[in-house]
Amino acid sequence: MPFPLSGASLLVSAVLFGFIFGWLLHRARVTDTNVIVNQFRFRDFTVLKVMLTAILIGGLGVFFLHAGGLASYHIKPANLLGVALGAVLFGIGMVAYGYCPGSGLAAIGTGSLHALIGALGMVFGAVLFALSYDWVKAHILNIAALGSVRLPELTGIPDLVWFAGLAVLALIGFLALERRPRR
């Protein structure tokens, strides 16, 4: 069993955790549209480095916390059609906006006015989704819906093997990136 906080202490920790996340996003430079867009143009690999490192370090820690009964998993359902369609839209929107939702919010804090305008667009998109939710739920989210599936259960390959494989891939990728002549 995890030991979630409750009441006021949970709400204070929400601001604190958000603060650290926003701080790290800015330090990582992913609050910069140029960095985000150039990742998708394969010119700047900052986003990939940040995400892969976070997944590896975070994943190993959460795996052991879970094994020790100190954390619960929160697996989003594999509604394959909804996830795939949503990801297509998300990729288009992310390049046009120039931020992901989290880095866009953080970028507002660094003085980006177009990040603020895009956040208003995000509100608009959220309202559109809420208005179309009944139809989406009935016609898209239930297609190829496999439930909250994890790769280890799906494949029979244990967690630590996944992480080891991911670490090897990341290491090869990072070494190749850092040895590349800089433009």
Partner 1 sequence: MHSEVKAMPARVITRSEVDWTPYLAGAGIGILSWAVFAIADDPLGITTAFAAFSGVAAIPFLGIEGVWHNSYWAKTPPSLSYGTLFLVGVVLGAVASAIATRRFSLETVPRVWRERFGPSVFRRFAVAFAGGAVEMYGARLADGCTSGHAISGNLQLALSSWLFTIVMAASGAATARLLFGNGRFANRGDPKCHSL
Distances (CA, A) of 28 to 19, 32, 100: 14, 9, 14
Restricting to residues 14-73, which ones interact with partner 1 according to CB under 8 A?
Answer: 14-29, 31-35, 37-38, 40-44, 46, 49-59, 61-62, 65-66, 70-73
Q: Does 152 bind partner 1 (CB under 8 A)?
A: yes
Number of residues located near partner 1, criterion CB under 8 A: 131
Q: Which of 60, 62, 17, 26 has the alpha carbon at shortest distance from 46?
A: 26
Residue number with CB closer to partner 1 (150 or 168): 150
Backbone angles phi, psi at 131, to 5 degrees: -70, -30
Residue number with CB closer to partner 1 (17 or 172): 17
Q: Is 103 left (phi over 0), alpha (psi -120 to 50) or beta?
A: alpha
- The single residue among 133, 139, 169, 172 that binds partner 1, judged by CB under 8 A, is 133
Restricting to residues 67-106, which ones interact with partner 1 according to CB under 8 A?
Answer: 70-80, 82-98, 100-106
Closest distance to partner 1 from the beta carbon of 139 (Å): 12
Backbone angles phi, psi at 79, to 5 degrees: -85, 90
Q: Does 150 bind partner 1 (CB under 8 A)?
A: yes
Residue number with CB closer to partner 1 (21 or 172): 21
Closest distance to partner 1 from the beta carbon of 61 (Å): 4
Q: Does 154 bind partner 1 (CB under 8 A)?
A: yes
Q: Which of 71, 53, 50 has the alpha carbon at shortest distance from 62?
A: 71
- The single residue among 67, 142, 143, 146 that binds partner 1, judged by CB under 8 A, is 146
| Alpha-carbon span 29 to 82, nearest angstrom | 30
Closest distance to partner 1 from the beta carbon of 132 (Å): 8
Q: Does 160 bind partner 1 (CB under 8 A)?
A: no
HSE (CB half, 13 Å, CA atoms) of 170? 17
CB 101 within 8 A of CB 30: no
